[in-house]
A and B are shown apart, each in its own frame.
Chain A
Amino acid sequence: MPIGFELTAEQKELQALAAKFAKEEMAPRAAECDKKGLFPEDIYRRAWELGLMNLNVATEYGGSGLALLDQCIIAEELAAACGGMTTSILANCLALQPINLAGTPEQKERILKPFCADYHLASFGLTEPSGGSDAAALKTRAEKKGDHYVLNGQKCFITNAPQASLFTVFATLDPEKRDKGITAFIVPRDSPGLSIGKEEDKMGQRASSTATVIFEDVKVPEQNLLGKEGEGFRVGMMTLDSTRTPIGALACGIARAALDHAAKYSLERTSFGKPIAQHQAIAAKLANMAIELEASRLLTWRSAWLVDHGHRASLESSIAKCFSSDAAMRICDEAIQVFGGYGYMKDYPVEKYLRDAKLCQIYEGANEIQRQVIAREFLRRFA
């Protein structure tokens, strides 16, 4: 079968829907939410109403049931309006993916269906204060007691935690066993002993909320065990394998917005009697930005295509996420440079893109870990 890059009519319609929502509802509020650190719940509710929230949940459980490439197309459009809002909108995909992958039909019916039937947020609880990259060393304890488990510990930097009604949580039954002891659980917000800590004051993506989640003798019934005991690490890694690619798309969206602003400005702003776009130094910058954005999007789409066609894509999804987020940082940095002094001012939109893009290098697997995965996967071919 030939490789094609023409979007289907249906994909173009989804793209147009996301673009319309991004332009009409997200973009006008982006600067204010960033400045004041507001969590625009009405926008997230509207995203749910439009079907833009639980993109990866099967339609039979009330999700949108989209392929990963379609999710990426939507993520880029949303992120071009606001990276932070996009993170909060897509956080459900991350939090619910362990249930998609490891949940039983009973769990999906009992938990996913009512969750998706109304506006709800969910959070993915893996990272801990003592570390995120070394996930096998996590410290949150789970103890089996009769027909339930008891959870104790802390998760940090958890997206949407203050507003979430559901958590997927990774805890260890035995720290000695490292990854083999890790087990995944579904934990409702109203479980006694579960509390939300301080909300973080972030550098960027400030329309998204981030907080610590504290577990003090939280009872989780056996029915909420995800997969089997000791399978949590595998579930977590498989989740990240499939949700990493849309982070590449999110980075593309932020970078695209920065490049669009820089390109328009370079045609309006004059120096030495001509638009600055006609100066080679600026034209070359814009060309490099366009090259990097194009490459980012192609890597992202190919990774998504592989996943959608049932291939293992640890290497390609890590490359897509890592390259696109690094490229987004360079593109946003250069966009500020094109704007000169104005770019450094908060009255102009470009400095926000740089702050928003930075998080893409850190969350869902820091780029250092991505490079480790890439090297490991790549070197395997020679071993």
Chain B
Amino acid sequence: MDVIVCVKHVPDAETRLRAASNGKWIDPDGVKFTVNNTYDEAAAEEALRLKEKCGAKSVRVVTVGPPRAEEALRYVLSMGADEATHIETPADALLDPLTVARLLAGVIKTLPHDIVMVGKQAADDEAGVVGSALGALLGLPSYAFVTELAPDAATKTLKMHRYVEGGEEHFQGPFPAVISLLKGAADPRTPTLPNILKARKKPLTKVSLADAQTRAQALPGAPASGAVRSFALPPPKTGAKMIEYQTPDEAAEKLVKLLREEAKVL
């Protein structure tokens, strides 16, 4: 059983963002990018557990992104993945999620894959498209928002769990398949120092954008994708009200009054 996990290099949640001058995305200059967003890290952890607990043969991590995105691959290699593939795009390329899914699918098609894992959405553009699109492009079932999974290699069946409105769902389906993770059964591990050093020696294959595009041509249909018209940061918050007071009791009293009469939340 070969497992592939797809991750995205995203801006760190604590970094300060500015809109880029072209008004289409953030200005990446001076932005600290983090290795992975929460959902991708959960997918990586779950992929590694498939190897450790369910006898998967190998875990390969794949990303589409500029040269800096290699960091994300190294991180997942440090967590314990065996190999990495980097579909390298120019630093200023702005790719829509469907294009990303096509590039991934074109390359994944040429690699052994029984289970393809992705985070349910990226932490930056929050599109949530890649998982479902990958399934369609690869001609595989895709299971979304999964929180637990247990493969049975003999019957090629996955038993899965997810939360649905007002309850929980246990379901099953065949694999090979694409699975998008909401969260995993365990917190994502922190790579240890010796594993960081070992990860440097693990194989990392680069695939050029042109090469990936060629491979993607053979995929079914090429629907037109949406494009970003404009991007802006949320306007600064206004309307904060400072309470003037002499004693804590007075402050509490004024606060309760405001919450009750103005905000009407009490």
A-B interaction: yes
Partner pick for B190 among A50, A64, A66, CB 8 A cutoff: A50
- Specify which chain B residues have a CB less than 8 angstroms from the CB of A167 in the assembled complex: none
Contact check, B196 vs A13: say whether CB atoms are below 8 A apart: yes
Contact check, B197 vs A10: say whether CB atoms are below 8 A apart: yes
Binds B, one of A14-22, A26-34, A243-251: A14-22
Contact check, B190 vs A51: say whether CB atoms are below 8 A apart: no
Contact check, A51 vs B74: say whether CB atoms are below 8 A apart: no
Residue A229 lies at the interface, judged by CB distance under 8 Å to chain B: no
Chain B 212-237 residues near chain A, CB threshold 8 A? none
Most buried by A among B71, B191, B197: B197
Contact check, A9 vs B196: say whether CB atoms are below 8 A apart: no
- A273 and B192 CA atoms in complex are apart in Å by 49
Contact check, A9 vs B74: say whether CB atoms are below 8 A apart: yes
- Chain A: CB-nearest residue to B200: A10
Contact check, B190 vs A13: say whether CB atoms are below 8 A apart: no
- Specify which chain A residues have a CB less than 8 angstroms from the CB of B196 in the assembled complex: 10, 13-14, 17
Contact check, B78 vs A21: say whether CB atoms are below 8 A apart: no
Chain A 364-378 residues near chain B, CB threshold 8 A? none
Total chain A interface residues with beta-carbon distance under 8 A: 17
Chain B interface bracket (under 10, 10 to 19, 20 to 34, 35 or more):
10 to 19
Chain A 185-218 residues near chain B, CB threshold 8 A? none
Q: In the complex, how many angstroms separate the beta carbon of B242 from the nearest chain A beta carbon?
A: 12
- Chain A: CB-nearest residue to B75: A13
Contact check, A20 vs B190: say whether CB atoms are below 8 A apart: yes
Contact check, B193 vs A51: say whether CB atoms are below 8 A apart: yes
Count of inter-chain pairs, beta carbons less than 8 A? 39
- The prevalent SS among residues of A at the interface is helix
Most buried by A among B192, B193, B195: B193
Partner pick for A51 among B70, B71, B75, B192, CB 8 A cutoff: B192
- A20 and B193 CA atoms in complex are apart in Å by 12
- A130 and B74 CA atoms in complex are apart in Å by 52
- Specify which chain A residues have a CB less than 8 angstroms from the CB of B71 in the assembled complex: 9, 12-13
- Specify which chain B residues have a CB less than 8 angstroms from the CB of A52 in the assembled complex: 193
- A64 and B195 CA atoms in complex are apart in Å by 10
Q: In the complex, how many angstroms separate the beta carbon of B19 from the nearest chain A beta carbon?
A: 22
Partner pick for A64 among B70, B191, B194, CB 8 A cutoff: B194
Q: In the complex, how many angstroms separate the beta carbon of A74 from the nearest chain B beta carbon?
A: 8
- Specify which chain B residues have a CB less than 8 angstroms from the CB of A66 in the assembled complex: 193
- Specify which chain A residues have a CB less than 8 angstroms from the CB of B197 in the assembled complex: 10, 59, 64-65
Contact check, A59 vs B74: say whether CB atoms are below 8 A apart: no
- A16 and B34 CA atoms in complex are apart in Å by 10
Contact A14:B193 (CB < 8 A) given known A9-B71, A9-B74: yes
Chain A 17-53 residues near chain B, CB threshold 8 A? 17, 20-21, 49-52
- Specify which chain B residues have a CB less than 8 angstroms from the CB of A17 in the assembled complex: 190-193, 196
- A49 and B189 CA atoms in complex are apart in Å by 12
- A20 and B14 CA atoms in complex are apart in Å by 13
- Chain A: CB-nearest residue to B32: A16
Query: Digit string of B187-214 for contact with A (CB within 8 Å is 1, else 0)?
Result: 0001111111100100000000000000
Tell me the A residues contacting B by CB distance below 8 Å.
9-10, 12-14, 16-17, 20-21, 49-52, 59, 64-66
Tell me the B residues contacting A by CB distance below 8 Å.
35, 70-71, 74-75, 78, 190-197, 200
Pairs A–B under 8 Å by Cβ, sample size 25:
A10-B196, A10-B197, A10-B200, A12-B71, A13-B71, A13-B74, A13-B75, A13-B78, A14-B193, A14-B196, A17-B190, A17-B191, A17-B193, A17-B196, A20-B190, A21-B190, A50-B192, A50-B193, A51-B193, A51-B194, A51-B195, A52-B193, A59-B194, A64-B193, A66-B193
